[in-house]
């Protein structure tokens, strides 16, 4: 199961949750640099493309 979230936030210390052990924030550029390099699961890559289309986020 894959959950993809989009966050725009200045302060990266905003997830005070005892159920979350670790969070890593990736920039769009960092994700796209690592696509199709077996860094991410195939499900994540499918969901990433889907969320970009849904949010109408284009390449810069």
Per residue in 14-30, pLDDT (tens digit) is 666 777 777 777 888 99
Is the model more confident about 51 or about 4? 51
pTM score above 0.85: no
* Distance (Å, whole) CA 32 – CA 48: 10
Query: Could you state, in order of their start, the residue ranges of all structural domains in the chain?
Result: 28-60
Residue 44 near residue 27, CB atoms below 8 Å:
no
Query: Which range has the top average pLDDT, 9-13, 17-21, 46-50?
Result: 46-50
Question: For position 30, what pLDDT does the model report?
Answer: 96
Question: For position 35, what pLDDT does the model report?
Answer: 97
Average pLDDT along the chain: 81
């Amino acid at each position: 199961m894959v959950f993809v979230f989009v966050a725009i936030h200045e302060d990266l210390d905003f997830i005070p949750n005892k159920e979350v052990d670790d969070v890593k924030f990736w920039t769009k550029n960092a994700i796209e640099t690592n696509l199709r390099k077996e860094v991410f699961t195939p499900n994540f890559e499918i969901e990433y493309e889907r969320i970009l289309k849904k949010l109408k986020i284009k390449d810069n």
